[in-house]
Amino acid sequence: MRLLHTMLRVGNLEKSIAFYTQVLGMTLLRQKEYPQGEFTLAFLGYGNEEGHTVLELTYNWGVDTYTLGNAYGHIAIEVPDVYATAQAVKEAGGKIIREAGPMNAGTTIIAFCADPDGYQIEFIGENHVRV
């Protein structure tokens, strides 16, 4: 068994694809419209679906906003340098919602940004200690 993908519902598929590809550096792996179901799926990631867990963006036609709720947390992306990544996201027009620095009650360096729909993405350094 392996984890295949995480799905997020998005209000503007083109804007979200641009964020994940241009700001976070993912590749659009595939995209397909489902007219009978009135939705479009886009799969993005840092590697192919055969060997990597990817992100599925679901656009339900005609729905432009969602209530995120308070149960969902975040997506975590391992990066070589959290400070440099946060700066690059800012320079690319992304929104940093927690500046790079040590996590609360720990020493692991993290930062957070938000995607166009408000989903949080955590950047965590490659040398973090797994608990």
CA dihedral 42, 47, 48, 49 (to 10 degrees): -70
Burial of 44 (0-12, 13-18, 19+ CB in 10 A): buried
Written as one string, the DSSP assignment of 69-125 is -SS---EEEEES-HHHHHHHHHHTT-EEEEEEEEPTTS--EEEEEE-TT--EEEEEE
CA 50 to chain centre: 19
- Residues facing residue 58 across a β-bridge: 9, 41
Q: Are 15 and 23 in contact (CB under 8 A)?
A: no
Which residues are designated catalytic? 122
